[in-house]
Chain A
Amino acid sequence: MTAASPPAPALPTDWRDFFALTKPRVMSLVIFTGLCGLLAAPVPVNPVLGFTAILCIAVGAGGSAALNMWWEADIDAQMKRTAGRPLPAGRMPRESARDFGLVLSVFSVLMMAVGVGYLAAAVLAFSIFYYAVIYTIWLKPRTPQNIVIGGGAGAFPPMIGWIAATGEITLMPILLFAIIFFWTPPHFWALALFVETDYAKAGIPMMPVVAGRHSTRRQILVYAVLLLPLAMLPFWIAGAGVVYGASALVLSAIFLVLALRVAVFRQGVGETDMGPEKRLFAFSVFYLFALFAALVADRWIMG
C-alpha cells in the first residue's frame, strides 16, 4: 500500500460496490466448502445454528476480502483483471473499504462466538487474520511461495464448518484443510501462467514471474501427484465411505492427467500455448466442488 489514494468520489458509494468488496464469486466457493464441512460432520446440526455458522463463515470471508482490496488497491489498479474494482476505479474512499472489512470481520467472529461456539469463532478469527495479514500484507508481495502458504486461508471454511457442527478438531477437518491447501497451488499457478503478464506488471512475485514457466509447470505436477493420495486419506483412514473414495480416485486421476499434460506431455502444444493450463484451471474448480459434494453425498447416502 502507498500513501497515494485516488481522488474522493463525487457521489456516495453505491451498496453494490460494498458488495463487490466481499468478492462474491470467491465467497460462493467458501460457502460451498464450509457447508460441506458442516453437512459431512457425523452429528445432527440445528438448522438455525448451521445457517448461522455458514453466514458467519461467508461474512468473515467477505470482511477479509474487503481488507485485501483495501491493502491492494494500488496493485489492483495496475492489472486489467482488477482495475474495475471499486477502489482502483475511484468509486469509493479507501478508508471505507478498510472500515467495512473490519466491521464485517469483527461482527462475523462475535456472532459465531455467541451463536455457534468459541472454538469455531477462534478458528474463524485466525482464518481472517491469516488471509488479511499473513497472506495479503506479509507473504504475497514478498515470496513466490505466497500461494502455497496463503492457500491455507481458503482451506479454513470446511474445517470451521466441521468444528461448528461437532465443537472439536478431529482428523477429518484437518484432512479437509490439507486437501484444499494442496489443491490451491496447482489451481492458482495454472491461472497465473495465463495471466502472467498482468502479475509481472504489478510486481507480484508469482511463481511464473520469478521461477519461469517450466519450473512452475513442474511444481504444479508435484502438487497434483501429492493431491491424489491426500484426497484418498479420508477414505483410507478417516471413515469416509466408498462413494467418496471412488469419486476422489476418479477426480484426482483426471486432475493428475491434466497436470501431466501441463508439465510433461506437451507434444503439439507450444510453450506459449496456454490451452493445457486453461483446461487444468477449469477442471480444478470443478474438482473441488465435486470432491466435497461427494463427501456430503457419502455421509448422507452411506450414513
Chain B
Amino acid sequence: MKRMTKFPETDPEAERKRIIKQRNLMLGGLLGAMVVLFYFISIARIGG
C-alpha cells in the first residue's frame, strides 16, 4: 500500500504574518547595526 505523507495544515494569513514579522525583525536588526557602525566610524574618523 502506498504510504501517504500528511503535511500540517498552515493558515496562509498566519504564514504571511510570520514572514512579515521575520522581515521586520531582520530589517530592524540591520538598521540598529548600521547605527552602531556609523557611530564607530565617526569615532574612528574623528580620532584620525
B35 at the interface (CB under 8 A from A): no
Residues in chain A near residue B23, CB distance under 8 A: 12-15
A237 at the interface (CB under 8 A from B): no
For the complex, give the distance between the alpha carbons of A13 and B15 in Å: 11
Q: What DSSP secondary structure best describes chain A's contact surface?
A: helix
- Find out whether the CB atom of B19 lies under 8 angstroms from the CB atom of A52: no
The one of B16, B37, B43, B44 in contact with A11, judged by C-beta atoms closer than 8 angstroms, is B16
B22 at the interface (CB under 8 A from A): yes
- Given A46-B44, A49-B41, A52-B37, decide whether A11 and B22 contact each other with a Cβ distance below 8 A: no
The one of B12, B22, B26, B40 in contact with A48, judged by C-beta atoms closer than 8 angstroms, is B40
- Find out whether the CB atom of A48 lies under 8 angstroms from the CB atom of B20: no
Q: How far in angstroms is the closest Cβ of chain A from B20?
A: 6
Chain A interface residue number, banded: 10 to 19
- Find out whether the CB atom of B19 lies under 8 angstroms from the CB atom of A115: no
**Chain B positions near chain A (C-beta within 8 angstroms):** 12, 15-16, 19-20, 22-23, 26, 37-38, 40-41, 43-45
Q: List 28 A-B contacts (CB under 8 A).
A: A10-B12, A11-B12, A11-B15, A11-B16, A11-B19, A12-B19, A13-B19, A13-B23, A14-B19, A14-B22, A14-B23, A15-B22, A15-B23, A15-B26, A46-B44, A48-B37, A48-B40, A48-B41, A48-B43, A48-B44, A49-B44, A49-B45, A51-B37, A52-B41, A55-B37, A114-B41, A115-B41, A115-B45
